[in-house]
Structure 1
Amino acid sequence: MNLHVIDTGFFKLDGGAMFGVVPKSLWNKRHPADENNMCTWAMRCLLIEDGDKLVLIDTGMGDKQSEKFFSFYYLQDTITLEQSLAKKGFHPDDITDVVLTHLHFDHCGGAVSLNASKGNFYPTFKNATYWSNSHHWEWAMYPNAREKASFLKDNFECLESSGQLKHLDVSDWIGNGPFPWMNILFVNGHTDKQMIPIIKYKEKQIVFTADLLPSIHHIPVAWVMAYDTRPLITLEERQRFLPEAVSNEYYLFLEHDAHHEMCTLKDSEKGVVLDKTLSLDEL
């Protein structure tokens, strides 16, 4: 098995939204904002190469939205999804499976592309099975007012009509998922039934933390995003997950941290804290 970091560029979000009720005087020391109070975040995906399987976890924002849309998020086109795949020697047609942690635009936008001349949307990875779960799919298809702006149906609706979408729900992943080396932790604080992949690799366990833990700056359990629909549930989920990450010696793959690909955690007098940061190549 080989793992590859797939970078899809950087974007900006309001610092206050990313750190919720934490005062700016605290979070700005760790992750300084620009003059518009915006902080830079990565959209880092993970590609797993295992035999005849090539599994991509999340797809970044994509490039099919309007100029006005991208102006809200200061998208920095340092590298696209396709360019990042090519850099690793792969083409979108090589991808056999796409695991979507959830359907917010910055996680699934690259899953679907736009044929500008025909005006239609189509799956970016024509040979891939796309994996979600029925609970989250319904949550995204019929969104609440708080999340509606994050669930853009152009990013995922055609996956169902194409026949490439499959759902695996909570019980289906318990020793019965499509990949013997992957389990899924389901969490509900950020959005309903977000899927957190746990990957067995070289006798280690790598957790793709998605929006359960966007960056090392979110390790303190109370540093919860204002984007989370159920912040108290996020708090409870982290209080369970962080000690588990220490005891199981998890390596955390950070999707949104602009400067760190991965980290490990340790116990301290103040609770669970950052142990070290590292790159995937260092494993």
Structure 2
Amino acid sequence: MTLYPIQAGNFKLDGGAMFGVVPKSLWTRTNPADSNNMIDIAARCLLIEDGDKLILIDTGMGDKQSEKFFSYYYPWGEHSIDSSLKEHGFHRDDITDIFMTHLHFDHCGGCIQWNKERTGYEPAFKNARFWSNEDHWEWATKPNAREKASFLKENILPMEQSGKLHFVEQEGNSEFCKADHLGFESLLVDGHTDKQMIPHIDYKGKKLVFMADLLPTVGHIPLPYVMGFDTRPLLTLAEKEKFLQTAANENYYLFMEHDAYNEIITLKNTEKGVRHDQTYTFNELFN
């Protein structure tokens, strides 16, 4: 197995929304805001090469939305999935599987693109299967009013219409779902959105965890620092507390999907609770 970090493109989000009830005077210490109160966000995906499988975890927001849509998110930088795949010697047509941690637009929008005539939508990875879980799919396709703007039907329904949608299975009452055919298992968490999946991958003697929106940035490590986007913030707090303690005790390496400046981090126990320990680039840790 070989892993590659894939940059799907950077954007910005409102700092107040990203930190909920935490005062700006506190969260700007780790996540400085611009004059519009926006903070830098990455869309860092992960590519897994395992035998004849090439599995991409998340795809960023893609490029099919309107200019007005993107004006809300201030894209910045030169990254794209295509250029990042090319850097590692791959093309999007090589991808065999796409694993979606959840179906918010900034995680799955890149799965679907306009067709050539711009009359409809088609898979952006023509040879790939799409992986979600049944409970989250139900949640996303019948969205509540709060999340409706994040679950865009043009991102989601074409996956099912393509005939390439598949679901991983949760075994019994386990809080993990297993995807043996993909080579890893995922922690199921419900605070941010229902049945978000957090992949855990054993790689070169280390436990690498793809954090998705359970821990968006290093600035979100303190327990009360919970996003305003989360549907069940008190549940996020409990889920995060349990996970961070395990990660610190067992020396997990956390792959940060949304932190624009910290690619992989470790944690440590302190008198104030679990806190950030070390930051690594992917290359210095694994190459």
Structure 1 pair 176–257 and aligned structure 2 pair: CA distance change class (3 A): closer
Q: What's the offset of the Cα at 1:174?
A: 5.1
Partner of 1:196: 198
Residues 104-115 of structure 1 correspond to what in structure 2 (within 5 A)? 104-115=104-115
2:206 aligned with 1:179, yes or no?
A: no
**For each residue in 1:49-106, what CA deviation from the matched residue of structure 2 results, as whole angstroms up to 9, or x when unmatched?**
1111111000001000000000011122512111211111101110011100000000
**Are residues 1:39 and 2:39 paired?**
yes
Partners in 1 of 2:138 and 2:282 — Cα distance?
34
Tell me whether 1:52 sits opposite 2:52 in the alignment: yes
Determine the C-alpha separation between the residues in 2 that align with 1:97 and 1:248: 29
Deviations 1:169-194 (A, max 9, x none): 321865563233x1110000000000
Q: Partner letter of residue 179 of structure 1?
A: L
Structure 1 unaligned blocks of 5 or more: none
Provide the C-alpha distance between the structure 1 equivalents of 2:92 and 2:148, rounded to a whole number of angstroms.
Answer: 29
Please name the residue that 1:267 is paired with. Answer: 269
Q: How does 1:1-283 map to 2 (within 5 A)?
A: 1-76=1-76, 78-171=78-171, 177-180=180-183, 182-283=184-285
RMSD of equivalent CA atoms: 1.3
Secondary structure (helix, strand or coil) at the match of 1:155 reads helix
Matched residues in 2 for 1:48 and 1:22: separation?
36
TM-score for the superposition, normalised by structure 1? 0.97
Aligned residue type for 1:106: D
5+ residue gaps, structure 2, are none
The answer to which of 96-105 and 152-161 deviates more is 152-161
| SS of aligned partner of 1:60 | coil
2:170–2:178 Cα contact (<8 Å) kept: no
1:220-242 deviations in Å (ceiling 9; x for gaps): 11100000000000000011101
- Give the paired residue count: 282
What amino acid is the match of 1:253?
A: F
Q: Which runs of 4+ in 1 moved over 6 A?
A: none
TM-score (norm 2): 0.95
CA distance in 1, matches of 2:273, 2:65: 42
User: 1:116: how far off?
Assistant: 4.7
C-alpha change, 1:26 and 1:174, in structure 2 (3 Å) is: closer
Amino acid at match of 1:263: I
